[in-house]
Structures are given as structure tokens and as C-alpha cells.
Structure 1
Amino acid sequence: IDQMLDEANNFHPNIKLVRQIGRSVPFLDVLIENRKGTLTASVYHKEAAEPYVVPFGSDHPGHVFRNTVDTAIARAVRYSTTLFEFEEEIRQMKLMFLYNGQSFECSTISHHPLIDSIQNLTVQEGLKKQFKEVAIQSRIALFNMYLKSAEDQREEYKKKHEANVKKMDASQHTLNKNEKLSSTFVQLINERCNNISERIR
């Protein structure tokens, strides 16, 4: 296996394979998981990566924004093996685009032929204003939902971490001297987890 990985790592300078044992493995932008003997795939998002795409307020041509959305959707369709994974990825995409300032003016509804066909400019502007207010309210509601979801996830991971620390402490007493983790290593793990928790806040 080592020889095969070394050969693969020499194939392309920008793609490196690493040895990893576990129920899931990320590769480029795909996450492959073993769920009770069934392999599933989903889009992989690096934890350290910001949910950043080209800001919608920038002066890039319109096709750049369309390509960003099209690529994200194609990736979700291609890599999601279940409907749940696909819907979760679409939800993440919506939040990412809101985070990057997708405004009402960039959406197709503000330039819809039906609205543009209204001759009375006062009525036309009134409709656009109403649509814009609804879009802003939806954006605020989605952002609040995202914050609550992030807080719930943080609490869930905090509980999991505390449970894992208790398990680790309990197992330290039953292991022999050679199998025990050093106290320095345990302390480093705790510090790392606390730093991640602080950064999430």
C-alpha cells in the first residue's frame, strides 16, 4: 500500500494522498462514508474553509455568478448519494450565497418580464419595493435560522467532546502503562478542542 500511495503522490504535484483509517475519508471535495456497510458520498467542506464565493456586490460579469451557482448545484447532484445529503447541501448553498451578499437586485425576479411589462412606473417600482422587502425579511429569517443551527451544533459537539473526554479518562485507568496516553498529550487534545470551541463562538 505504501508503494502504491508513493507512486500516486508522484503522479501530480498538487494532489497528495494520505493514509487514513476510519469510517469516513475526504478526497478533494468528496466525503466518502461507511454507514453500516453502505458507502455514501456527499460534498466535503473543509472545517477551516470560509463559506466564500465571489461577492454579489462585486463588478464581475453576470455569467460569473451564474457559473458559481451552476457549479455548486452540479457538485451537489454529482456527489450526493441520498436525497437527505442533497437537500442538506442545497441548504448549505443557500446560506453561503446569503453570507456572500446575494441581493434582491441580483435575483431574476427583480428583472422579470412580467414586472417590466407594467407601463405605470409607480406601480412597477411599488412591486419591486415589496419584493425587495420580502427578500430582506427572508434573508434575516434565514440568517437567524443559521445562527440557531450553528449554536445547536456547537452545543452538540461540546457534549460529544465532554463525553469523549470522560471515556478517555476512564480508559486511562484500565490500560497498562505502555497503552496510556501521556498527560501532556491529553492536555494538548483538550487545549485544541477548547481553541476550536472559542473560534466557533
Structure 2
Amino acid sequence: MQINNQSTIDEEKYDNLNRMNTSQNDVYMNNTDKIDWDNGIDFGNMVAIKKKEKPLQEQILSQKFTQLSIVRNTEQPVTIKNIIDEIDKIPNFLSKRNKSFKAIINQALSITTIIRTNEMIEQLRQMGILIYKTIFIRTHHSLWLTYFKSGTGRLIIQAKEQLNYSTNLPVWPKEINALAQKPTHINKENENEFYMNFVNKHLRILDNQLKEYECELNKRITSIPGNSLQVQHLIETYVEQNLSSLRMEIEHKIQLIHYDYHIQALKLEYYRHDPNVYQKNLMKMLCCSKYEQELTKQEFDLLQQQINYYNSPCQSFECSSLSQSELIYSIQDTNIRQELFNQYKKIAVQSRLDIFNLYMKSAKIQMDECNKKFDTDMKKLKHDRQSSCDNEKISPVMIDLIEQRCNKIGDRIRCTYIFKGKSICVKHN
């Protein structure tokens, strides 16, 4: 049984795209959208920093709320070296002692005509490891191919609905800017070629590694007598189930690249209308305001989700370590011990309820403030449109671009929190 090599990207295909793209003079870089996200906002960490000072008690409560609701994302982009290093480590689900994998191997042996030997068991295990490596490489390859498509202006497939901004501009994702570490001698005229060569090099490394693993896997599969196709499918299914978190993470990163592309393309289209300083700041203010509005709303919803989990039966007081008080259990008198335990439980449960209420109150205050601010900023936009003199008026087209960009920013944040919510569910389960 031979492996399908369609996932491998042909070098000639890369070269054709390169020649077409290098001829373009205008290179648009997505340097974390610095122009529009410099008011204390970090797209990577998803944290909004308030400019005005808060009372100490509110600062402490806000900090606790943030710790409960989300973990800040300080993850760096994954390099090819990280991928190769990680793939050389045998995951626990493919280890010799893993009971689930042993069961899969026993099931695979039962559908073949070969005699059960230690050598054959090890051969099936090695097949599982090679399947793991091919899936791992393919998954990361899809991410790097998305980087490539974004940087060459081929990320967005022409939609049925006609957009009023260009979607064939080359926009290199911020992850590539961070990984490539552009030398000082690279200027605006040749940086596109520099980033393209950087991504091409890494794609070819992944391609070559994938071909090597697929070749080894084919040899393993063809050496197995009997139902080799069924054996392969059985082990592949097991490996894919154990790599579902990785697949979900990479798919999420690809989604964010698409959102970032639209956000950047809308900004470039807005600037193409030659806005004055006030109009540039207006877009910046509204986009930041929308960011904080949607961020605090999603924080509120995620916090509610986590509190619901902590209030579930599996997280009851009896299931927590707090219920195992050595001091109370050391009391010999049964009645006194039970009475003290009931008082202790009542205080602990009420304290947790009180702090959860404080968290929700703090989150709702932030959400309402940001929602009110965005509404106010939008009203100001419409008021300025009506009251400004003709040569200073912002055009309806520019207003539409701002609104579209705000919507994409909101969609991006919702996408991130949907992923966070799914990750929490996977972790709890």
C-alpha cells in the first residue's frame, strides 16, 4: 500500500509563484499592525491595558480576574528546529508501556495472517511512530504553506461577494517577521524576496522530511502480510485521535492568519484614500475601541464558563483538598467533628461564592465601560461626518472600511475565545 504524496509541495510550483510575485514593487508588511495597535494593545497576548489609573483594590481584583479567566499567551512562533526536535521525541501514547497502544497493536495482529512475535510487535510500533511523524509534519506544513500564501497574496480565494478592498496583496504574517530576523541591510525594496526565500527554505525542509518518512512508512506497510491497509488505517486512526489537540491548534493559527490578512488589507485600502492625520487617528481610535469592547465581552463569557465549571458537582467542596482538614479529622468526638466540619464547609463555600461574584462584577463593569466607549466613539464618527466641512469630511467609503475592519477585529477575538473555550473543555475532560 503506497502513501498518497499529494501533500508534498512541488519545488517547481514554488519557483513559479516566486517569479510572479518578485516582480511586484509594492510590498506590504504586517508588522503586528503597529500603526493601529500602539495604544497599549498587544494582539498576541490579547490583553488590554487601561491608560487611566485605578484604585488599588480595583487593580488587585482586576489582576485576580485576569488570572482566573485566561492565561496570557506568551507562546513564540514555532521554528523548523522546534518541529524537528519535537518529532524526534517519542510521545507517550506510542511508548511500549502504553496500554492503549498495546491494545491497538493486539487488534492489528488479530487481523493479519502473521505469527505474533516481539519483532512483529516492534515493527507495528515503528509503523505507528512513522505515521505520527508524517501527520505531525503535514500538520505543520499546512501552517507554513499558509504563511507562504499570505506573503504572496494568494491566501484569500475570491469570494462570491465582491469585496471593496484588494485581497491579492502580499502580507507577511507577524510570525514570519519574528522568526526571520531580517538583517539591517535588507530594505523595503528587497525584503519581500528575503521573506519569500526564508519561507521557501523551511517549506522545502518540511517537504524533504515528509518524503523521507513516507518512504520509510511505505516499506513498513508493504512488509506486512495480510490486511496491511486495515492495519495502517487502524493505527492512523489511533494516532490522529491523539494528535487532535495539535490539529485544533494549527487550524486555529491558520484562521488567525486569515483574519490578520483581512485586517491589514482593510487598513491598506483605507490608506489608499489618502486620509489626513485626524482621519488616521479616527480609524485607530475606533479599532482600538472595538478591540477592547469585544475583548472584555469575551473575557466575561469565558469567566462565566469557568465559574460554571468550578460550580459543577465534580468541583464541589467534598471533591476539593479543602475538605480534607487534618485538624478537624483529628477530633475524636463524632458530633463535634461533624458540627465543625459543617461550619467550615459553609464558610468555604460562601467565600468562594463571594469571590466569584466579585470577579463577575469586575468583569461586567469593564465590559459595560468598553461597550459604552465604543458606542460613543461610533456616534462621534457619524457626528463628525455631518458637522465637518466638505474638504475635511470622511467619505462614506472610508467609514465603511472602518466598520468592516472593526467587524474583522471582533471576529478575530471571538475566534480566539472559541478556541480558548474548546481548549478548556479538552483540558477538563
Using structure 1 for the length normalisation, give the TM-score: 0.47
Quick one: higher RCO (CA 8 Å, sep 6+), 1 or 2? 2
Larger helix fraction of residues: 2
Larger Rg: 2
Larger strand fraction of residues: 1
Using structure 2 for the length normalisation, give the TM-score: 0.25
